[in-house]
Amino acid sequence: MELAESLEVKEILRRYREVWALEHALSLMTWDMETYMPEAGFRERGEARAVLRRMIQRTLTSQELKSLVWRAEPRNDFERGVIRVLRREIERLEKLPSEFVEEEAKVATEAYSVWVKAREKSDYKLFSPHLGKVFELAKRKAELLGYEKHPYDPLLDWFEEGFSVADCEKLFSIIGELSELFRKVSERHPREHPLEKEEYDKQRMRELNMRVLEAVGFDFKRGRLDTSPHPVTFGLGLDDVRITTRYHERDFRRSLFAVLHEFGHAAYDMNIDRVLWLTPVQRGASLGTHESQSLFWENVVGRSIAFVEAFYRDMIEYLPFLRSYSIEDIYTYFTLVRPELIRVEADEVQYVLHVYLRYRIEKEILEEKLSVSELPQAWEELMEELIGVKPKSHREGVLQDVHWSQGYVGYFPTYAIGRVLAAQIALSVKDLDEKVRERRFSEVMSYLRERVHRWGAVYPPRELVKLALGEELKPPRLLEYLRLKYL
Ligand code: MG
């Protein structure tokens, strides 16, 4: 990859280091908050984070940096990437007045704390006025950001560069067939599996997770594995990437697959080309692209018979109860398909149906076709239509996700993008099963590194996908992948 050639870009990169350092500090603080921070540290940490955020904003929107960015005439792909990413960030920061940003943060903080209680009590009425405010703000945000066709467009683009309602319609054009496929597969699968109930030793489970991580290529000199309530990855830098998982005493696949999922995110962050270090393009191309990497490792690699074969001995060693189960049993347990009410518990066949439901609701609210008070009913009807089950409580329905309470409207479709991309990658890697069975993970990784990871955010996500796979995002590929695996 070519480096910065023009003087302006060199100067921009010099100034950008301040932002990089602040972001580095922010992600370290967030990691700590999710793992080891004492409970009462919350308020001070919140204050400190807000101040750092304002410092980043001040640096990015400073007249000097701004005029450099707008004046620059990029000479190569790297420089074009730097300018594209910075323009996008600066424009966003400038379109949203600071009062709006503050109000957004306030509404989200309150909505989140009410959501926690409302979810516990399964009380939608308690949450609904706050959700109303969240959607009102989303509408205002869309107006502030501006759009040509649909108010949802700028909200989608916020999370996935260049993505619009038109793209979502294409993305979700497979829903009918997917729903059909899900019905067919789930009819053949049992509703329960004895392995879900087997109790494991948490310490031994952690050791198994470490063993698997080492085998797939996680570099412990450049990363850590910790525990947190919600598994997550923090890419602090190229040489400091931290992942987390959780340990319930039963159903060991949940801990293992969280590890593989976060490993996929971590591998992306660790494999970005070193020449992009400390620059605005030292990051994944988009949320959808990032999620494709985590899902590739979790679903494509992890939920395969080849993976069970490769790690059967290790699994037995750390989880002795597995001795009475065969490789086939474990594979069945890993790939169980049955109607689920909860998105995060959903298998890979039905997952996108859950995402589509949320997309439909967000879009209809923005179009003023649906009101917040009608939301639970719309939810139930869509669940019934798509997955064939109805939530018995709001807790397992409309109150299950954290996203809306945090003000994230337009986020969900990135999960579907990641799913489709992961399927496209699965279909494009040669002899994947053989490589997994023989633990030749470095060969799989070098494929991903060359095509996806190393480029960071140099190219916008759409372009990167074309470069990496020789085709665009192709939703029918998900059906193809699922049919091959499950039929
Ligand atoms: Mg993820």
- DSSP states of 194-244: GGGG-B--HHHHHHHHHHHHHHHT--TTSEEEEE-SS--EEEEETTEEEEE
Distance CA 164, CA 178 (A): 22
DSSP structure class, residue 324: G
Check pLDDT > 90 for residue 3.
no
Alpha carbon 430 to chain centroid, angstroms: 25
This prediction has a pTM of 0.96
% of the chain beyond a pLDDT of 90: 93
**148 Cα to the center of ligand 1, angstroms:** 31
**7 Cα to the center of ligand 1, angstroms:** 38
**368 Cα to the center of ligand 1, angstroms:** 31
Which residue, chain included where needed, has tokens 């799989």? 444
For the chain, how many helices (H) and strands (E)?
21, 3
Check pLDDT > 90 for residue 50.
no
Query: Would strands 223-227 and 233-237 be described as parallel, antiparallel, or unpaired?
Result: unpaired
Least confident range of 96-100, 394-398, 410-414, 448-452: 96-100
The mean pLDDT value for 411-425 works out to 98
Distance CA 350, CA 425 (A): 19
* pLDDT classification of 47: cutoffs 50, 70, 90: confident
**369 Cα to the center of ligand 1, angstroms:** 31
Q: Cite the active site residues.
A: 262
Distance CA 272, CA 290 (A): 12
Check pLDDT > 90 for residue 287.
yes
pLDDT of residue 311: 98
**203 Cα to the center of ligand 1, angstroms:** 24
Instruction: Give the other-Cβ count within 10 Å of 71's Cβ.
Output: 9
What's the pLDDT tens digit per position in 59-108? 999 999 999 999 999 999 999 999 999 999 999 999 998 889 889 988 99
**70 Cα to the center of ligand 1, angstroms:** 34
Instruction: Give the other-Cβ count within 10 Å of 369's Cβ.
Output: 10
DSSP structure class, residue 245: E
The amino acid at residue 441 is F
pLDDT of residue 4: 82
**262 Cα to the center of ligand 1, angstroms:** 7
Distance CA 141, CA 419 (A): 28
DSSP for 258-322 reads HHHHHHHHHHHHHTS-GGGTTSTTSS-S-HHHHHHHHHIIIIIIITSHHHHHHHHHHHHHH-GGG
**66 Cα to the center of ligand 1, angstroms:** 32
pLDDT of residue 102: 86
% of the chain beyond a pLDDT of 70: 100
**265 Cα to the center of ligand 1, angstroms:** 7
Q: What are phi and psi of 247, to 5 degrees?
A: -130, 105
Alpha carbon 247 to chain centroid, angstroms: 20
**288 Cα to the center of ligand 1, angstroms:** 9
Phi-psi domain of 183 (left: phi exceeds 0; alpha: psi -120 through 50; beta: other): alpha
**41 Cα to the center of ligand 1, angstroms:** 26
Tokens of 357: 């439901």
Distance CA 45, CA 50 (A): 9
Among the listed residues 1, 142, 12, 21, the one whose alpha carbon sits nearest the alpha carbon of residue 86: 12
Torsion sign, CA atoms 314, 316, 322, 327 = positive
**291 Cα to the center of ligand 1, angstroms:** 5
Distance CA 52, CA 56 (A): 6
**253 Cα to the center of ligand 1, angstroms:** 16
Check pLDDT > 90 for residue 182.
yes
Distance CA 299, CA 264 (A): 11
Q: Measure Cα distances from 172 to 178, 349, 443 in Å.
A: 10, 14, 33
**14 Cα to the center of ligand 1, angstroms:** 31
Contacts with 132 (C-beta within 8 Å, 6 or more apart), sequence order: 372
The amino acid at residue 144 is L
Provide the 3-class DSSP secondary structure of residue 72.
coil
Give, to the nearest 10 degrees, the angle between helix 7-35 and helix 77-95: 60
- Average pLDDT over the chain reads 96
What's the pLDDT tens digit per position in 468-487? 999 999 999 999 999 999 99
Which residue, chain included where needed, has tokens 């279909």? 427
**276 Cα to the center of ligand 1, angstroms:** 23
Among the listed residues 239, 256, 255, 238, the one whose alpha carbon sits nearest the alpha carbon of residue 247: 255
pLDDT of residue 98: 85
Among the listed residues 478, 445, 476, the one whose alpha carbon sits nearest the alpha carbon of residue 266: 445
Among the listed residues 299, 173, 184, 297, the one whose alpha carbon sits nearest the alpha carbon of residue 233: 297
Q: Do 261 and 294 touch, CB atoms closer than 8 A?
A: yes
199 DSSP β-pair partners: 250
**363 Cα to the center of ligand 1, angstroms:** 23
Tokens of 439: 């633990």
Check pLDDT > 80 for residue 2.
no
Among the listed residues 176, 118, 151, 188, the one whose alpha carbon sits nearest the alpha carbon of residue 365: 151
pLDDT of residue 281: 98
**264 Cα to the center of ligand 1, angstroms:** 8
Length of the chain as a residue count:
487
Q: Do 403 and 382 touch, CB atoms closer than 8 A?
A: no
Contacts with 455 (C-beta within 8 Å, 6 or more apart), sequence order: 1, 272, 273, 285, 464, 467
DSSP structure class, residue 402: S
Tokens of 234: 């923090």
